[in-house]
Amino acid sequence: GNSVTQMEGPVTLSEEAFLTINCTYTATGYPSLFWYVQYPGEGLQLLLKATKADDKGSNKGFEATYRKETTSFHLEKGSVQVSDSAVYFCALRARNAGGTSYGKLTFGQGTILTVHP
Amino acid sequence: EPEVTQTPSHQVTQMGQEVILRCVPISNHLYFYWYRQILGQKVEFLVSFYNNEISEKSEIFDDQFSVERPDGSNFTLKIRSTKLEDSAMYFCASGQGTYLQETQYFGPGTRLLVL
């Protein structure tokens, strides 16, 4: 079945440090890939997405590139801020074995990021 | 910007009691979902709903669970007889379609604690 594996957390960084959160996936066919972010006390918000191989999703200084050859979608940011402290979820949407999609997302376990001033 | 809302934000209940979690999806969306996240674990898919029918459900979504869209705006998740292991954060989501690239919009969640 489909699955997503994220790097273990929590991740603690100083402000302006470089961030990488690793994400790899297993899926039927060619999934779409997403990063969602959850700020304290809030719901999941879409951060960025990529829908085909070699696509790069980007938003708010975050980037992730869809790497089909390594089945990865690592999240990066060149200079993190305190306000980036949140939980980050990698997710995919893929067709099931029968070739259909009813829209469900499959999530990784989430990575807690804490950024200190 | 339109958003998905959920009520209540927190609910505490006794084991064996029925609970109903409520969601108001974004108004022009047609596809609705429930997910849950047990503390420290992954966000897990429970059920998807379209055209007043369940379109897909996970193995978690057993006979104790049901969903309903009673009035064209609310989308509810009912747990008939809660168990301790139902304690989790429950997220509602909605979307316009099921194409792989479609964005799904999530509510803030309801934290359910079963004692």
At residue B41, the pLDDT reads: 85
Cα B28 to Cα B22, B55, B73, B93, distances in angstroms: 18, 19, 10, 13
Answer for the pair B12, B19: CB distance below 8 angstroms, yes or no: no
CA distance A96 to B88: 26
Residue B51 has pLDDT above 80, yes or no: yes
Look at residue B97 in the predicted model and tell me its pLDDT.
Answer: 79
Of A101, A41, A106, the residue nearest B108 (C-alpha): A41
Does A53 lie at the interface with B, CB-CB under 8 angstroms? no
- Taking residues B98-104, what's their average pLDDT? 79
Please give the pLDDT value at position A95.
Answer: 76
Q: Do B103 and A46 count as a contact with CB atoms less than 8 A apart?
A: yes
Rounded Cα distance, B115 and B105, in Å: 30
Largest Cα–Cα separation, chain A? 50
> Nearest by CB to B106, which of A31, A44, A106?
A44
pLDDT in tens, B69-79: 988 789 999 99
Interface test with B, best of A2, A44, A55 (most B CBs within 10 A): A44
Q: What is the pLDDT along chain A (117 residues), one digit of tens a residue?
A: 889 999 878 999 999 999 999 999 998 788 999 999 999 878 899 999 998 899 999 999 999 999 999 999 999 999 999 999 999 999 999 877 777 777 889 999 999 999 999
Residue type, A117: P
Q: What element of type H or E holds A5?
A: strand A3-6
- Residue B4: pLDDT above 90? yes
> Looking at the DSSP assignment, which residues form a beta bridge with residue B22?
B7, B76
